[in-house]
Structure 1
């Protein structure tokens, strides 16, 4: 069941996701867009030359899609992207938010923990500029206590740090598996709290099978990406986080 509070209708949200460790953000948005019945309203072009296209019914579709339902927008990149492309993606997403009077941007990502960790996934928020700090306080989300950030995630921070966008990076602890079901469910629940909609996650396992089939290429490309990066996440938490 999906229920949107009257309060949430007065505020617009943009969720931006691209493959990360655990495929947390990408799969969370895939599930949310299906449950909310969001419409594909176009693509976000970040360069004149696209790295890939999908052909369906004789039409070419770029890899970075834009979805919308009421006051909720989502930008989803269907391929792993490099440092420079990530920076451009976030900058273009900020511009998109401004053009559409969107007040908050949420970027869900995975935060890798030790593979032997037995606890439940935890979601943390990271506010990277002055406007974002108040937004983090509003949603009562714990802040990331400590981590080393590099690669694509560092590009996200760089793009947001000197902007006036109200944006929160939503990190959810996960293991190096593609996908990490528990972390994705936690991310979905946290996202739904932030955008103030109720999402039924009981059908997640059923939907995940379809998402897995549709995204086998993403899964393999993301796995290779992290294997080529010595198997490490682009965000390494300090010991004890998770």
Structure 2
């Protein structure tokens, strides 16, 4: 992460996205495939690569704004990775994933959803605020970019569930994994992130209140993540 930040101001916007992709690929090479953070990292890498592809194809009217949001968003995850690697406590929203990453009773789909929950439920709101400060604009000015990045995530959600669900024999209403997977919604998390970002922006002149709101959001998202990572019987 330190290397990514060091080049942030000197490299072109597109190369900054390339830095993020390269960092996530390197992390994936370092972790065992079954590691819970590695499971999420693969999912997030595919999302970031798809966003980058669409940016290069001109799918975002304001490519600079889209890249800024994409990079600020990724930095939140990478900081959590670095904190855990350095023996520090990552944000509360990420702690369950790092604590349970090697638990044999947690399924790959749970790891993926817990990571997405942390990143969308908490990090996306803060990344949008970070981007507004960087670009000198309001959240409403980035709504199109926010929605388009969210559309990529939603389009991949069903594929993620299909690839990581153990098999059709488990697709029953009484199965614990089916219940957990069905209880969480990316679209609701994205809507919540937009509302949280607008609230944080409205509180920007009240830093104490904004900090308290951010801490409570972090804790609430972490609680959901811990529930998603409930160990399940074989």
TM, length-normalised to structure 1: 0.28
Larger Rg: 2
